[in-house]
Chains A and B, each alone.
Chain A
Amino acid sequence: MTVMEQRGAYRPTPPPAWQPRTDPAPLLPDALPHRVLGTRAADRADPDLLRRLYAELVRGRRYNAQATALTKQGRLAVYPSSTGQEACEVAAALVLEERDWLFPSYRDTLAAVARGLDPVQALTLLRGDRHTGYDPHEHRIAPLCTPLATQLPHAVGLAHAARLKGDDVVALALVGDGGTSEGDFHEALNFAAVWQAPVVFLVQNNGFAISVPLAKQTAAPSLAHKAVGYGMPGRLVDGNDAAAVHEVLGEAIARARAGLGPTLVEAVTYRMEAHTNADDDKRYREDAEVEAWRAHDPIALLERELTERGLLDEDGMRAVREDAEAMAADLRERMNQDPVLDPMDLFAHVYARPTTHLLEQEAQLRAELDAEARHHDDDADAQSHEPEGTTR
């Protein structure tokens, strides 16, 4: 039986490995976001996982702070911070197996770093020296995607191709609440469901698309509800509860791996900082709103759980903070070095087989650079022959 024959059409009864539902609309999300921390569900959580999540959250926040600082020092052209959303970023990275693929948007450098990508390589796009600073195949992280939601059909296609080849690979695609209004979001979800592709969509609903609040973006009861129309389950999760995001994503990935198709997960979170360093969030939201979310901080939530249950003591937390500081110091030091650029790179990767007119333009740039170098040499010669005692 071929892969395309296996796929199930929309079934009114839930597939076997899926939690049975008794209500008449089995794909609908829960009314309230799923939570683990501070609930009885936390007792079942793996202490090692909680400690790992905590360490990555602390590192992640430090990474965001360091990257934002680098914009102020002129070392980054722009940085869209994920401060406040670290639980989503970190859980997305840790929940995947090495063979799986991550499809990040431009706000998801942290997820890429938490998956193992070198922090400097993750930032070349935003520094402005290389569109993608890494080989996507190395950590199976697609290029950070700037055009909204356009990475989602890529995730579907890759997951579908892996399934056709018989490989056990799941793709996890990240998108924001604004991205759910894009046509590519809908087309990706529809293709994924029709093909029953092993892909999971994580919407980080951080409340804003730059300045536009969710209420102006959608009239749906929740973004997770959108799943129902495509015939896949929608899950709603507290996006600041790292354990809950990890659990819900884990279930969705297991479902995809079992051949039961895609899931849409909406993580409700909040963007604590402006859209980027170039944005002014005072123009569209009140401080009080931001402050209210501070009480539901992802790091504080997990720290409380770990402390109350005695899973991490003060020494352990200090070690985590020191590790984060070391990462930040290393990042700072390496980002303070100017990248070495070769202008001839402009032509290096346009085509496998360059066109003749591109070869002509390449030769033109080469000639310009050679002329520049000769002028530079002449100037240097002139200076070195200046008589002694002359002042400039």
Chain B
Amino acid sequence: MTTVAVKPATMAQALGRALRDAMTDDPTVHVMGEDVGALGGVFRVTDGLAKEFGEDRVTDTPLAEAGILGTAVGMAMYGLRPVVEMQFDAFAYPAFEQLISHVAKMRNRTRGAMPLPLTVRVPYGGGIGGVEHHSDSSEAYYMATPGLHVVTPATVADAYGLLREAIASDDPVVFLEPKRLYWSKDSWNPDEPQAVEPIGRAVVRRPGRSATLITYGPSVPVCLEAADAARAEGWDLEVVDLRSLVPFDDETVAASVRRTGRAVVVHESGGYGGPGGEIAARVTERCFHHLEAPVLRVAGFDIPYPPPMLERHHLPGVDRILDAVARLQWEAQS
């Protein structure tokens, strides 16, 4: 057996490779969006695809998000499998009506006769110094819409595996790409991509006994860092990476919290009406008698995303996570 040289790859490269492999395996897969052609996308995720597959399958569209998603709906109606790129989180809003009234509902409206197997890739979240309208965490809108799957990777291997599965899925998937992790590197062999857990399964990224940090996407590395720092305080934190917000893996999350007895949900999205409220409720409903303290949330403030020079005060960081962990009523134990 020969050992394959495994080189570090970025998340953006893994996503690009997933698109390329999906297009190679399935001629109905089409990539479309703003600047996805010659430029390779503003984050270079589609780099080289137009050259390899031609303009018919990798299409620079006019600059109009409702039109991009609306035409993708029509293409999916005719049997294609479009992968749409929204350039930035906040620029996806013009496509909301198409997403909510058609993409999410078409299977249901037609009693299964007209499923729409399309993927909407959305770079999301902050932390890259983006100016106004470039750093939103819009996942709460998507996860509140029945009919959509909402997936977000936090590792290079997941970026590849989850995107391949999203494209192959017969359900429409909103694929949220944490843009500050685009350049994160991991040892990863593009020619033998490792198998990952399927969409709908959460993964314990770091086992621990004291408390569970429940998180996803861009906040996963932050939570891992917090868990490392917590050792000095005597806490052994478990980190659960949700990987998909819809479907939600109640089983893995509840099993972790039953073990640790304490939980903090961490995300960039605002706390009020955000994913954390739903997650805390689900954990409480399932683990009430195992909980030593209320489930806490560390979220972005309930403010419009701040100017980039102030964003570090807004984003959940290690200190804020450790402060929350400190508030998990440890005194009750003694």
Contact across chains for A349 and B107 when beta carbons are under 8 A apart: yes
Q: Identify A153's interface contact among B70, B111, B200, B251, CB under 8 A.
A: B70
By secondary structure, the A interface counts as helix
Contact across chains for B169 and A352 when beta carbons are under 8 A apart: yes
Stretch from B16-24, B61-69, B203-211 forming part of the interface with A:
B61-69
Report the separation of the CA atoms of residues A22 and B102 in the bound assembly, to the nearest whole angstrom: 43
Contact across chains for A164 and B112 when beta carbons are under 8 A apart: no
Report the separation of the CA atoms of residues A17 and B38 in the bound assembly, to the nearest whole angstrom: 33
B56 — which chain A residues lie within 8 A by C-beta? Answer: 2-4, 164
Residue of A nearest to B54 (CB): A2
Contact across chains for A135 and B77 when beta carbons are under 8 A apart: no
Could you mark each residue 90-104 of chain B with 1 if its beta carbon is under 8 Å from any beta carbon of chain A, else 0? 000010011001100
A137 — which chain B residues lie within 8 A by C-beta? Answer: 113-114
- Check if A131 is an interface residue, CB within 8 A of chain B: yes
Report the separation of the CA atoms of residues A187 and B73 in the bound assembly, to the nearest whole angstrom: 14
- Using A132-B110, A161-B79 as known contacts, say yes or no to A147 and B67 having CB atoms under 8 A apart: no
Residue of B nearest to A157 (CB): B74
Residue of B nearest to A2 (CB): B56
- Check if A136 is an interface residue, CB within 8 A of chain B: yes
Report the separation of the CA atoms of residues A111 and B149 in the bound assembly, to the nearest whole angstrom: 35
Stretch from A236-244, A273-281, A353-361 forming part of the interface with B:
A353-361
A107 — which chain B residues lie within 8 A by C-beta? Answer: none
Contact across chains for B74 and A155 when beta carbons are under 8 A apart: yes
The winner among A159, A171, A187, A348 for most chain B CB atoms within 10 A is A187
Contact across chains for B70 and A357 when beta carbons are under 8 A apart: no
B250 — which chain A residues lie within 8 A by C-beta? Answer: 356-357
A351 — which chain B residues lie within 8 A by C-beta? Answer: 107, 147, 149, 171
- Check if B247 is an interface residue, CB within 8 A of chain A: yes
Residue of A nearest to B74 (CB): A157
Q: Identify B78's interface contact among A161, A188, A191, A348, CB under 8 A.
A: A161
Q: Place the interface of chain B in its size category.
A: 35 or more
Q: Identify B111's interface contact among A4, A130, A165, CB under 8 A.
A: A130
A156 to chain B, nearest CB (A): 5
Contact across chains for A161 and B74 when beta carbons are under 8 A apart: yes
Q: Which of B109-133 contact A (CB under 8 A)?
A: 109-115
- Check if A256 is an interface residue, CB within 8 A of chain B: no
Report the separation of the CA atoms of residues A155 and B72 in the bound assembly, to the nearest whole angstrom: 10
- Check if B140 is an interface residue, CB within 8 A of chain A: no
- Check if B293 is an interface residue, CB within 8 A of chain A: no
Residue of B nearest to A156 (CB): B71
- Check if A320 is an interface residue, CB within 8 A of chain B: no
Contact across chains for B62 and A157 when beta carbons are under 8 A apart: no
Report the separation of the CA atoms of residues A190 and B70 in the bound assembly, to the nearest whole angstrom: 12
Contact across chains for A154 and B74 when beta carbons are under 8 A apart: yes
A164 — which chain B residues lie within 8 A by C-beta? Answer: 30, 56, 80
Contact across chains for B74 and A184 when beta carbons are under 8 A apart: no
A160 — which chain B residues lie within 8 A by C-beta? Answer: 71, 74-75
- Check if A158 is an interface residue, CB within 8 A of chain B: yes
Contact across chains for A191 and B248 when beta carbons are under 8 A apart: no
- Check if B55 is an interface residue, CB within 8 A of chain A: yes
Report the separation of the CA atoms of residues A351 and B111 in the bound assembly, to the nearest whole angstrom: 10
Show 11 A/B contacts (Cβ-Cβ < 8 Å), sorted by A.
Answer: A147-B102, A153-B66, A157-B78, A161-B74, A161-B80, A183-B94, A188-B71, A350-B146, A351-B147, A356-B250, A356-B251
List A residues at the B interface (Cβ < 8 Å): 2-5, 130-132, 135-137, 142-143, 147, 150, 152-162, 164-165, 171, 183-184, 187-188, 190-191, 194, 345, 348-353, 355-357
Smallest CB-CB A-B distances: 9 pairs? A157-B74, A153-B70, A187-B67, A157-B71, A161-B78, A355-B247, A158-B74, A352-B170, A154-B74
Given contacts A157-B75, A161-B74, 12 further A-B contacts (CB under 8 A): A5-B55, A132-B109, A132-B110, A154-B77, A156-B67, A187-B67, A188-B71, A353-B170, A353-B200, A355-B248, A356-B251, A357-B247
